[in-house]
Structure formats: structure tokens, C-alpha cells
Amino acid sequence: MKHRIHPDAFLPRTASRWACLLLAVALGSPAGCGYSVVRYKGAIPETETLAIAGLSNESYEPGVEAVVLDALRREALRRDGLRLIEDPERADLVISGSVSGLSAGPRSFSSVVLALEYEVYMNVRLRAEHRDGRVFPIDGRATSASDVYLASADVEATRKNRRETIHRLANVVAERVYDSLYESAAP
């Protein structure tokens, strides 16, 4: 004769009910707090295609506009809300603008006044314009970012750290720009 163990044998009946109740509250509470699943497809009315026009570089950092442009394109593909196309004339929505500033300066120093860390600040000016003339505002806080990188006695290591920081800042700005764009387009 086999003995069957009841599934609730290890928990008192009231404890399993409390566990179910807590699970239901935990799963339902994000919706009550204003959190929801973001759907990028169809989030911007009458918009299916996106083009990102070449950015101009107003900073003293050569090639930074290409880094930001690449980050904006990768973020558009990652979100999968709009189909990315090359021709701004055929696109429903066009993002254009410039990298208006990139500056770096020492942030912390050693006891013999050598820089230990540098801070990089990036600022971009972007405009999102719909084919019908509507302009979607992009929050000014979304278009700037700063980060810190370590200095090194090895010049190449310092350059590499700076380059990686610039790429990281471009990715952060791209994420924030699309967040701002979808928020401003929401009904």
C-alpha cells in the first residue's frame, strides 16, 4: 500500500492561502502603481517608419557624431517599435540634430596632483519631426549625460577608457531619447 502525500501537507492550510494571496498582490501591485508593459509597436500614432538623419558634430571630438548615430540606430532596432529606414524623405518620423558638446576634465587627483579620474560630459540637440509637421519634444534632460573613467600611467589605457566611456554615454543618451520620444507621443 502506497502512501500519498497531500500537496498541502507541509504547509498549514491557512499558510498556503496566505501564500496565494501574497502572490496575487505581488503580481497585481505594479499595475496599481502606474507601472505597465511598454508596447513600442503603434505607440506613436500614424507612424511606422523612422529615419535618423546624419548628425553634425559641433564638439571638438572627431567622430563622436558617428558614435551617437550608431547608438540611436541600435536603440531603434532594439525597441522594434518603428521600422528603421535610410531615406528621411520616405520616413514617417525623422530624428535629426547634432552633438553640441563633449568635454572631459579631471575629477579626482592623487596626493602628487596627478589625475586619477576624468569626467566626460556629452550633450546632444535632437529634433523628432513627423511627416505631417508635428514635432515631438525630447526632454532636455534626456539629451545629456556624464560618466567617469579611470586615468592610467599608460596613455593607451586612458584613451581606451575614454573611448569606452563615450560609447557608454552615447548608449545612455539614445535610451533616454527614445524614452522621451515615446512618452511625448503617448496619448
Nearest-angstrom CA–CA distance, 71 and 96 = 14
DSSP string for residues in 49-68: EEEEPPPEE-SSSTTHHHHH
What's residue 30's pLDDT? 60
Residue 15: what pLDDT? 62
Distance CA(88)–CA(53), nearest Å, equals: 7
The rounded distance, in Å, linking the Cα atoms of 134 and 78 is: 24
The residue ranges of every structural domain in the chain are 49-185
Count of Cβ atoms closer than 10 Å to residue 85 Cβ: 15
Partners of residue 93 on adjacent β-strands: 50, 130
pLDDT tens by residue, the chain, 187 residues: 566 666 555 555 666 677 766 776 666 666 556 655 556 676 777 889 999 999 999 999 999 999 999 999 999 999 888 899 999 999 999 999 999 999 999 999 988 888 999 999 999 999 999 999 999 889 989 999 999 999 998 999 999 999 999 999 999 999 999 999 988 877 6
pLDDT score of 33: 60
Residues β-bridged to residue 103: 121
* pTM for the predicted model, two decimal places: 0.77
Q: Does domain 49-185 have CATH number 3.40.50.300?
A: no
Residue 46 has a pLDDT of: 82
